[in-house]
Structure 1
Amino acid sequence: MNGMSDTGVVAGASAQAGHAHRFRKLAGTGFIAAVAATLATTLAAALARAVGVDFEVPDGGETIPLSGFTVVTGFFSVVGIVIALALLRWSARPAERFVWTTVSLTAISLVPALLSGANTATTVALLGLHLVPAAVMIPTLARSLRTRTD
C-alpha cells in the first residue's frame, strides 16, 4: 500500500466526520433556539393580550390565536435552521451570509404587519413579535456558524 494514499483516505474521512459533526451540532443548537424562540414569542403574545392587545386583523375581522404565533414562529425558525445548514454547506462565509440573509428576511416580514390595517396596539405588538424570535434565532445560529469544531 502507498502510505500517501492511505493518509489521504484517512484525512478525507476525518474531514467528512468533522463536517457531519458541525451539521449535527448546528441542527441541535438550532432546534433548542427554535423552542426558546417559540416559547418567548408565545409568552410575549400572551402578555400583550393580557394588557389589552386584541390581535384583530381587519381582513375578515379574525383574531390571531396564541397557537397561531406558536406555529408560525416554529415554522419560520425551522426555515432559519435550514438556511443556516445550507450556508454552512455551500458558503465560504456562512455566518456573515446568514446574518445578512436573516436580517433582510426579518425586515421584509415586518411589512405585512405595517400594511394590515390593524389598530396601533396590534400593529406595534405584531412588529415586536416578529423581532422576538429574530433576536433569539439570528445571534444563536450566527454564533454556531462561526464556531470551528473540525
Structure 2
Amino acid sequence: MTTTAVQVPATRSLLLAGVAATAVASVATAAVAAAGHAAGISLDMSGAPIPVLGFAMLTAVFSLVGLGIAALLRRFARRPRATFVRVAVALTVLSLVPDAIADSAASTKALLMLTHLVAAAIVIPAVARRLSA
C-alpha cells in the first residue's frame, strides 16, 4: 500500500506537469510559426501550406508521446530523469532531420527546426523535473 500511495501522487504530478507543458509548447510553436509567417517566412512545404494550427496539433501529439515515454521510464528505468533527457534530446535531434531535407526554402526549414527546439525547451525540462534522478 505504501508504494502505491507514493507512486500515485508522483504519477499525477508527472502527468499534470507534462500536460501543462504540452499546452504551453503547443501555443508557443503556433505563435513562433505565426510570427515567422507574419515576418514573411513561407510555411509551404513541397508547395503545400502548413496551417499554423498544425504546429500546435503536432506539438501536442509528439509531446504526449514523450510524456508516455517518461511515464514508462519512471516505472522501469533505474535513472528515469537522465534516461528521459537523453532519449528526448536524441528524439529532438532526429526530429530535425525531416525539416533539414524537406522540399522548402531555407528560411522555412529554419523556422520548422526552431519550432521543434522551442517545444523541446519547454517540455523536456518540465517533465524531467518530475522524474527522480
- Tell me the TM-score range normalised by the shorter chain: over 0.9
Q: Which runs of 5+ in 1 are unaligned?
A: 1-12
Query: Per-residue displacement from partner, 1:48-89 (whole Å, max 9, x unpaired)?
Result: 01000111112xx10100111011001001011101100111
Query: Per-residue displacement from partner, 1:101-131 (whole Å, max 9, x unpaired)?
Result: 0000000000000100211110110110110
Residue 146 of structure 1 aligns to a residue whose secondary structure is: coil
Q: Which runs of 5+ in 2 are unaligned?
A: none
In structure 2, C-alpha distance between the alignment counterparts of 1:95 and 1:46, rounded to whole Å: 33
**Within-5 A mapping of 1:1-80:** 13-58=1-46, 61-80=47-66
- 2:123 is matched with 137
2:93 equivalent among 107, 116, 122: 107
In structure 2, C-alpha distance between the alignment counterparts of 1:51 and 1:96, rounded to whole Å: 38
Question: What code does the residue aligned with 2:96 have?
Answer: L
State whether residues 74 and 132 of structure 2, in contact with CA within 8 Å, keep that contact through their aligned partners in structure 1: no
How many residue pairs align between the two structures?
133
Percent identity reads 37
How far residue 38 of structure 1 moved from its aligned partner, in angstroms, is: 0.5
How far residue 92 of structure 1 moved from its aligned partner, in angstroms, is: 1.1
Matched, 1:94 2:80: yes
Question: What code does the residue aligned with 2:55 have?
Answer: F
Which of the pair has more CA radius of gyration?
1
Moved over 6 A (4+): none
